[in-house]
Amino acid sequence: MNQLLKTNIGRLRIIGFLEGISLLLLLFVAMPLKYIFHYPVATSIMGTIHGALFLLFIFNTLSVGVEQGWQFKHTTWKVLLACIIPFGTFYIDKKILRICKQ
């Protein structure tokens, strides 16, 4: 874990994991709590956490894309798209981020 924190791509992988978990919690825990059990506080809390992680993921993706020399039309857009698809950040971590030079 300490090794991941030392590089920008490692930090992006950690943020991607946290962002993916927050999206799943928002969709599959907080939203049902709001609409089925009439407990809207869950979405306001989880939505705020997910929004912060989402923005952090976007900014770090762009930073790593510049650092790694990714071409936007080949790599960067795929990583950016992954953060709005459930389980997308986990897929991108396995297919792109894990094999990038650290």
Tell me how far apart the alpha carbons of residues 87 and 67 are, in angstroms, rounded to a whole number.
Answer: 25
- Of the candidates 99, 98, 101, the residue with the CA atom closest to the CA atom of residue 14: 98
Output the pTM of the full model. Answer: 0.88
Helix (H) or strand (E) holding 6: none
Per-residue pLDDT of the chain (102 residues; tens, 9 = 90+): 667 778 888 899 999 999 999 999 999 999 999 999 999 999 999 999 999 999 999 999 999 999 988 888 888 898 999 889 999 999 998 888 877 755
Q: N- to C-terminal Cα distance for the chain?
A: 14
